[in-house]
Structure 1
Amino acid sequence: MDFKYDHFLKIAALGKYPELEISEDEFREIINARRTLTTALSIEENYDHVLGNFLDLEKELLMLTFEKVVDHRFDYNRAYAVTSSLNRRVVNFVISGKNYTELISSKASKCASNSAEVALEVTKLTRSHYDNNSDYRLMEALRNHVSHSGVAVHSVDNPDRWLLDENKQATNLVFNLSMYALKERLAENDGFKPTVLKELADKTDLKKAARSYIGAISSIQEEVRRLTKETTENARSIIEKYLAKYAEVNNGNSFPLGCYSKAEFELNKKPTMLFLDWDDVRIGLTEKNHSISNMEKRYVSSAIVPPHKPKH
């Protein structure tokens, strides 16, 4: 390719298209904007991954609970099957959760102009959750446990109960399923964090712990979005600006637009592509994945609810 300019924009396709010269500063501005949006998308994808694994765990709990409505058997084989199924979901969840909390400070810093300050603030936030939330500490410790030693769900329970009316007559049978980590089993792992093990009860409710953990992660994500909002929106505006500028010299068309550097092209580096379809995915994930910071206070019910009678 013959170069008229050191830095320019051009449609990255075969054919003759206009070349729009840009300065080296403008070139760097585009590169930095693209990197910011790429990291911002990665943050949303990682959070969506954690949420997806949490939903898989909750769906499995609901499905197994509902199966009890028609199948009351709960012998050793059934208990093993249930425990094994839940363990698979818990493993996916705790690994994705820990990966998120380990990387979020570094990623958030790359989406902010004051990167050092943002990294420090996010680190302080994750440490605060760790220090103040025993469920958070447990789930973080479980990541290493399930990766290197054993399972997390050691026992399951069926806390089904009848609901009573004001006359203490049974009205509805509520089915439920609980899953627990046992302290004695975790203690068999010499590598399990001693400080976390010491504070555990003999049985720890993993359903509650999982909900508390995802609530904390959601709180972190909400704050990261706030800290990176201005820089991320500015990065998108920069890409939009250059797409519009090129469209003015190419009959309104700016797809697929490449940002070229003569020096980098001679090093066999591909141009940086300018389009925003992939960033629309980030925006969609932001809109879809709302805050659930109080998740341990929420639950799903399939109870039959009488229709509301309007007051006359």
Structure 2
Amino acid sequence: MTDQYFLKVAALGPHPKLEITQLEFQNIAEARKVLTGALSIEEKYDLTLSNYIDLEKELLSLTAELMIKFNFDYDNLYNIRALLNRKIANFILSGKIYTEQIISTAAFCASDCSEAKTELKKFRSKKYDTNLDYKIMEALRNYIAHYGMVLHTLSLPSHWTKDSNGNAKELEFNIDLFSEKKLLIADSEFKKEIIHELPEKFDLKKGARSYIGCISEIQATVRKITETRINSARLTIEDYLIQYSLINNGDSFAVGAYSPNEKKPIILSLEWDNVRINLAKTNISIPNMFRRYATNSLSTKTQ
């Protein structure tokens, strides 16, 4: 029949067909869309998290270089500021894209789209209203778009740490990054409602850590809201792959769902969805990121 719906290996050859109903085909198509959206959720978070890690890595690398070379001339400091400006801008822009797009993507993958949108908007608004760093970092995205780079000044503090007897132990080096209020408010597009909350110097390092922590909390909420429907979508695909394997000597590789109304089949492979699962396992929630920092200090045990 020309209007037949069926599953078959999407390749040339005498592969067996498993007939399905139109409703089953639609369920498969819907499951595929949900899993595609689920992957997009994890990719958005992974992009933001990766840009944040790039910023932290650059700071550690530059700190180590300054610790050894002591190169504090104007050209070197300018190059450092330009490099860090790019890293900060990449992170802020990806963070803003995440917070703007995640609700619509997540709502599609939730059991109740309208309820999910309401809950996520409420949660995102709470983060914005209760966390000044989050609020300023979001505003800095518009500053980058309309005016320029947000890293205005940097400092390179160093000091000796002391042991329990008050003796010098290690010479600690650092890089501090700041946006200056007087320059931010020179942008006529900068959000007027937060100007009174701006410190004279906004600590970008602390702001970045606090911002990624808030985004991490949003992601955890998104995962919780979408978990049921995403798991159901995967089980739908798995079930039809098992059914097809029973008529194809246990093989369900590259199986497609065919419809008389579509030129190309819907591929039922789950390899790409395994990428989503691995991203979710790797990119764990880090809500207290503003309390964390990396150090290369000598271990107490070796001293």
TM-score range for the pair, normalised by the shorter chain length: over 0.9
The answer to whether residue 282 in structure 2 is matched with residue 288 in structure 1 is yes
Q: Is the 8 A contact 1:105 1:120 kept in 2?
A: no
Cα offset, 1:279, TM superposition: 0.2
Cα offset, 1:163, TM superposition: 1.2
Determine which of 154, 159, 170 is the counterpart of 2:168: 170
Of 190-199 and 58-67, deviating more is 190-199
Cα offset, 1:249, TM superposition: 1.4
Give, in whole Å, the separation in 2 of the partners of 1:188 and 1:23.
63
Cα offset, 1:58, TM superposition: 0.2
- Alignment match, 1:147: 145
**DSSP-derived class of the 1:279 partner:** helix
Q: Is the 8 A contact 2:6 2:259 kept in 1?
A: yes
Q: Is the 8 A contact 1:159 1:177 kept in 2?
A: yes
- Alignment match, 2:102: 104
The answer to whether residue 155 in structure 2 is matched with residue 161 in structure 1 is no
Q: How does 1:131-280 map to 2 (within 5 A)?
A: 131-262=129-260, 264-265=261-262, 269-280=263-274
Cα offset, 1:196, TM superposition: 2.2
**DSSP-derived class of the 2:300 partner:** coil
Residue by residue over 1:48-106, the C-alpha shift from the partner in whole angstroms, topping out at 9 and shown as x without a partner, is 00000000000001011111111223232222111101000011101100000001111
Give, in whole Å, the separation in 2 of the partners of 1:303 and 1:165.
13
- In structure 1, the gaps of 5 or more residues are none
Give, in whole Å, the separation in 1 of the partners of 2:297 and 2:218.
33
- Alignment match, 2:122: 124
The 1:173/1:257 distance shift into structure 2, 3 A limit, reads same
Of 55-64 and 74-83, deviating more is 74-83
Of 164-173 and 235-244, deviating more is 164-173
Give, in whole Å, the separation in 2 of the partners of 1:21 and 1:54.
49
Q: What is the count of residue pairs matched by the alignment?
A: 303
Determine which of 54, 58, 61 is the counterpart of 2:59: 61
Sequence identity of aligned pairs in percent?
A: 47
**DSSP-derived class of the 1:153 partner:** coil
Which AA in structure 1 matches 2:196? K
Of 244-253 and 86-95, deviating more is 244-253
**DSSP-derived class of the 1:249 partner:** coil
Which AA in structure 1 matches 2:161? L
- Alignment match, 1:94: 92
Of 206-215 and 137-146, deviating more is 137-146
Cα offset, 1:198, TM superposition: 2.5
Which AA in structure 2 matches 1:270? K
Cα offset, 1:113, TM superposition: 1.4
Residue by residue over 1:197-243, the C-alpha shift from the partner in whole angstroms, topping out at 9 and shown as x without a partner, is 33111111000000000000000101111111111111100000001
Which AA in structure 2 matches 1:157? S
Give, in whole Å, the separation in 1 of the partners of 2:146 and 2:47.
22
**DSSP-derived class of the 2:293 partner:** coil
Cα offset, 1:166, TM superposition: 4.1
Which AA in structure 1 matches 2:129? D
Cα offset, 1:148, TM superposition: 2.5
Determine which of 11, 16, 19 is the counterpart of 1:18: 16
Give, in whole Å, the separation in 1 of the partners of 2:10 and 2:208.
47
Residue by residue over 1:138-182, the C-alpha shift from the partner in whole angstroms, topping out at 9 and shown as x without a partner, is 111111211231001001011211112344332211111100001
- Alignment match, 1:299: 293
Q: Is the 8 A contact 1:5 1:21 kept in 2?
A: no
Residue by residue over 1:264-283, the C-alpha shift from the partner in whole angstroms, topping out at 9 and shown as x without a partner, is 23xxx321111000000000
- Alignment match, 1:31: 29
* RMSD, aligned CA: 1.4
Q: Is the 8 A contact 2:146 2:187 kept in 1?
A: no
